[in-house]
Structure 1
Amino acid sequence: MLDDPLRSVAVVGGGIVAWSAAVAIRRRLPGVRVTLVATPPSPDALADRMACTLPSAIGFHDDLGLGEDDAVVRAGSGWRLGTRFDGWAQGSPPYVHAYGAYGQPFGTASFHHHWVRAARGGTAAPFDEHAPSAMLARAGRIAPPDMEPGSPFAGVQAGLVLDLPRYEQMLRAFGRHLGLEVRDGEVREVRLRGADGFIDALLLGDGGMVEADLFVDATGPTATLRTAIDAEWEDWSAWLRCDRIMQAEVPAGAVSPLDHVTALAAGWQWRVDAPGRVLHGICYASADLGDAEAADRLTEAGGVSTAETICFRQGTRTDPWVRNCVAIGDAATVIEPLEWTNLHLAHSAIDRIIAMMPGRACHPLETADYNRQTQAETTRVRDFVLCHYAVARRPEPFWQIAADLPPSLERTLRLFAERGRLPFFEEETFTRDSWLAVLLGQGMLPRQVDPLIDGTPPDRSDAAMAAYRAAIARSVAHFPTAADHMAAQSRRIVR
């Protein structure tokens, strides 16, 4: 019967998004038969090609039963605590967006209102000096995961820098351990049922056929399965103008939990000090910067001799799940890697598929709710990335956003600009502290100070903030460096 539970799922794709989906569904829904059609990896799928992740990757691994030993150490991953942004607001110093709390609440209002009052009075220290994770990252140190509750460092979160080939090998081995069925090949035809337009089967290049109740499209921007149903696409290029990425890596020995992002006249450039290598990249608008110039920038930055170019078009499918096909990763959303959200969105989609798995009929009410939640999350990720551009202070034409901002971001910025308040949105990926780190880090001060802090005199606010900064500074030096922390993890495995 069509109301029966799904019995089989086919995942199509050849990168880490496809392997992650197949492994997760097989692991968490053991009664479902899962087949991975391992097509050649898409060269322009950003979720498969970007090595940096948000802290949410750790939770995804936990749900799979993969601990640090396998998913991090044996896979050659490194730790990252945040990003240092340089040049996004000319005339302002660089700032750090790190994961975790900024400041400690006291008095009758949130911490940032006290800081805003001090900033308007000219007495505030940099906002990120009140973030334990940011100060750890600046010092090149890592806090152990077993911090005592109540410690300012207990809320520090870390993302990963993946060694992509080794990470994919780990997923492949784990998938086969779980009994995942893998078929290598290419999809020659997506056969639709005439009655309802559902995908009936996939015809492969070798003459074989794959049938399933549900098809997960992880084929990258081409979206081989999903585009067989319709070509619906919401274009974001009026706001997010970058359409090229050039990246390379060079050997190195030092590691750092802080990656660096520098604004350029027509885009931005990154550097990540990962275990055994330095990752360099540049994200730019081809209308304003040629490929040869971009390559020269990479050469100047790190002695890069060769680099690969990825072309992309930013946007999303407002309905990634239609009938019995759901698109994930770049098949659903393409967004530049500023803030490294690419794999996070794929992991989130996978978790949502598992949590909201419908019956075999894929009833429109169920898929519509999946699409609603996915669109809410994707919209706010877009807004957060776009926020960096919207509040940037640079003179070049690239930085002048021609179109009106999306209403959701416009509302956020107008509310914050008035009194430092941030609205609530469903399915937020980034915390309020992350929004504050960018807004205040790039010099956007509210017009008025929130009256809720009137009960705390300015000198008491200043003293409390100074004491908190001093406590962070005293503690940071006692934590291990990123290299020592990773060496200790490796020794634990050897034992």
Structure 2
Amino acid sequence: MSARAIRSVCVVGDGIVGLSAAAAFARALPQVAVTIVPATPDPAAVAEIQCATWPSIHRFHAAIGLDERELVRDGIATHLLGAQFGNWPQVGQDWVHGFGEHGLKAGDIPFHTLWHRAFQAGAAAPYWRYGAAALLGAAGKYAHPSPDPASPLGGFLYALRIDPPRYRARLDTLTAPLPRHAPFASVERGEDGAIAAVGTADGSRVTADLYLDCSGPQALLRFPDDAEFEPWDAWLPGRSMAVRDVPGDAVDPLDRAETTADGWRWRSPLGDRTRVIELNDEPGGVAVRFGRRTPGIGNVLAIGDAATAIDPLFGTALHLTHDAILLALDLLPGRDFGQAEIAEYNRRSRAVSTRMRDFHALHHLRVGTMTAPLPEGLARTLEQFQRRGRLPPFEGEPFEADAWLASLIGLGLTPDAIDPLTASIHPARAAHAMDALASRLAQATENVPPYPQLLSRLRAG
């Protein structure tokens, strides 16, 4: 090990975020001593209470050695194909955001441009009905993507819906070999402001080269006068968040999002119960404020809600957490914590969180809860999409183009003009191909068993 290499890591927080970070660092850096200091859970930490995830979770599970089949078999996770939006953006308008591709390209011509032309002519079904994940989910069915490139069920993506207490327990078992200390009590800083040690409830001092703040929005390792928080109130209104479990709906592969009189709610059916997360102006919930801090300062990296607090739309809080952990491993600094190394981590983290904020802001814009000027990235995205149906590239883009298209079109946004490239495909020929695809998707979906039936088989091994 070189003289500059980090030799020890202290993870503050033993929830889903902290245990995920500890598992990833311990597996990727077996020569580094990783230790965990528990912390009082922060009820405003979305990543700790959210059931939905994003398809990127499979990459992270591979990195820490978690097996999807085991998680499903043991009742820790179910399969998730997307979300159904009700009365969003307006009353009576329901649509499905399904993961993965929709339709098929015609050479280099994107499907959504051909769909737009046909839709304007009244010759196309709603866009989401050309996505395998959305169609399966709306039917309450699930099948793993087919490896056959000719199959209509071969191009979609899927995520997992986790049961937070059971998922945390599994991560706890995974990290059981790592040393645990008494709960967090205090921070001891050196003259340069860097953390010299973490104090615990039993009076002990825990020292490390690198400290990971996984304590949620309370960000226990930051300075008391931390002025780094950048609020996103203008685009993601902070309100009262209530989390409750109600008697269970039958588990299916779609979550549900719907607007309410003074906010919105998200429902995740877990089988034995349904987790409901509601944001509104009602008293009695947990006050939440969405925004971000600079994640890397000195010898501290903030992970999850401690760095970026984002609302519980989709499963992006855990997506951000996993992305930050893997990026930290990819850009692991030396023990001297050179400014160039930390600055690069912060720059790339900022690019990812900015686009995630823009994606969420798009949904709030369409239901009228956002009245401030658009953030620059979202404004550019809307301008280019509405002019020609194109999506501009962004560094650090956390979502595939299909995800943006599914939401833009599902929310009722279509280009002002038909892309001229579509003229190379005769409208009748394109309409015939779209009809054929819709028929093949419908037929393939009919042959898939209802998800509860499939889930019972998977859990029985």
Tell me whether the two structures share a fold, i.e. TM-score over 0.5. Answer: yes
Q: Distance in 2 between matches of 1:281 and 1:324?
A: 35
Query: For residue 42 of structure 1, what is the aligned residue in structure 2?
Result: 42
Aligned to 2:366: 391
Alpha-carbon distance change, 145 to 414 in structure 1, aligned in 2, over 3 angstroms = closer
Q: Secondary structure at the match of 1:379?
A: helix
Q: How far, CA to CA, are the matches of 1:282 and 1:91 in structure 2?
A: 18
| C-alpha distance 172-404 of structure 1, shift in aligned 2 (>3 A) | same
Q: Does 1:312 align with 2:288?
A: yes
Aligned counterparts, 1:57-456, within 5 A: 57-90=57-90, 93-144=93-144, 147-176=147-176, 179-188=177-186, 190-194=187-191, 196-227=192-223, 230-252=226-248, 254-284=250-280, 286=281, 290-291=282-283, 309-317=285-293, 319-392=294-367, 399=368, 401-456=370-425
2:16 alignment counterpart: 16
Amino acid at match of 1:202: V
Q: How far apart, in 2, do the equivalents of 1:145 and 1:129 lie?
A: 17
1:146 and 1:469 mapped to 2: Cα distance? 17
Contact 1:84 1:95 in 2 (8 A): yes
CA deviation after TM superposition for structure 1 residue 107, in Å: 4.6
Inter-CA distance 61–135: structure 2 relative to 1 (3 Å threshold): same
Q: CA deviation at 1:3?
A: 5.1
Q: Report deviation, 1:5.
A: 0.3
Q: Distance in 2 between matches of 1:19 and 1:71?
A: 16
**C-alpha deviation, 1:227, in angstroms:** 3.3
What secondary structure, in the 3-state scheme, does the structure 2 residue paired with 1:484 have? helix
How far did 1:434 drift? 1.1
- Provide Cα deviations, 1:237-273, integer angstroms capped at 9, x if missing partner: 0111142221211233621101111122322122222
Give the Cα separation in 2 of the matches to 1:439 and 1:227.
Answer: 40
Contact 1:12 1:219 (8 Å CA) reproduced: yes
Task: Write the deviation string for residues 439-483 of structure 1: whole angstroms up to 9, x where unpaired.
Answer: 111211211111011111111111111111111000011122211
Q: Secondary structure at the match of 2:274?
A: strand
Q: Do the aligned partners of residues 153 and 360 (structure 1) sit closer, same or farther apart at CA in structure 2, a change above 3 Å counting?
A: same
Greater alpha carbon shift after TM alignment, 463-472 vs 82-91: 82-91
Give the equivalent residue in structure 1 for 2:446.
477
Quote the Cα distance in structure 2 between the aligned partners of 1:17 and 1:91.
36
Structure-2 separation of matches of 1:247 and 1:481: 28
Residue identity matched to 1:338: L
> 8 Å contact 1:76–1:162 — kept in the other structure?
yes
Q: Is the 8 A contact 1:77 1:275 kept in 2?
A: no
Over the aligned positions, Cα root-mean-square deviation in angstroms equals: 1.8
Over 3 Å counting, the alpha-carbon distance change for 1:146 and 1:132 in structure 2 is closer
Residue in 2 that maps onto 1:302: none
SS at match of 2:243: strand
Deviation at 1:25, TM superposition (A): 0.5
Cα distance in 2 for partners of 1:155, 1:184 equals 48
Q: SS at 1:201's partner residue?
A: strand
Tell me, in whole angstroms, the C-alpha distance in 2 between the residues paired with 1:326 and 1:409: 27
- Rounded to whole Å, the distance in 1 between the matches of 2:436 and 2:108 is 18
2-structure distance, mates of 1:257, 1:381: 23
Amino acid at match of 1:328: I
3-state SS in 1 of match to 2:417: coil
Bigger shift: residues 74-83 or 465-474: 74-83
- 1:309-337, Cα deviation, whole Å (9 max, x unpaired): 322111011x2101100001110011111
Change (3 A) 1:221 1:227: farther
3-state SS of paired residue (1:153): coil
Structure 2 unaligned residues grouped into runs of 5+: none
**What is the CA-CA distance between 1:488 and the residue it aligns to?**
1.8
1:47-67 Cα deviation digits (max 9, x unpaired) = 111121112112211111211
CA distance in 1, matches of 2:317, 2:266: 16
Conservation of the 8 A alpha-carbon contact between 1:53 and 1:343:
yes
Alpha-carbon separation, structure 1, partners of 2:151 and 2:223: 50
Q: Give the superposition deviation at 1:291.
A: 2.9
Partner-residue secondary structure (3-state), 2:378: helix
TM-score of the pair, normalised by structure 1:
0.89
Q: Give secondary structure in 1 for the equivalent of 2:217.
A: coil
Amino acid at match of 1:186: F
Equivalent residues of 2:266, 2:313 under 8 A apart? no
Query: In structure 1, what is the Cα distance between the partners aligned to 2:42 and 2:73?
Result: 27
Q: Which deviates more from structure 2 when the two are superposed, residues 57-66 or residues 227-236?
A: 227-236
Give me the whole-angstrom Cα distance separating, in 1, the residues matched to 2:182 and 2:137: 42
Paired positions, count: 461
| Matched letter for residue 191 of structure 1 | E
Segments of structure 1 that go 5 or more residues without pairing to the other structure are 293-308, 393-398
What displacement does 1:151 show? 2.4
SS in 2 for 1:221: helix
Q: Distance in 2 between matches of 1:46 and 1:148?
A: 37
SS across alignment from 2:181: strand
Could you tell me which amino acid in structure 1 is paired with residue 340 of structure 2?
A: L
Give distance in 2, aligned partners of 1:461 and 1:414: 26
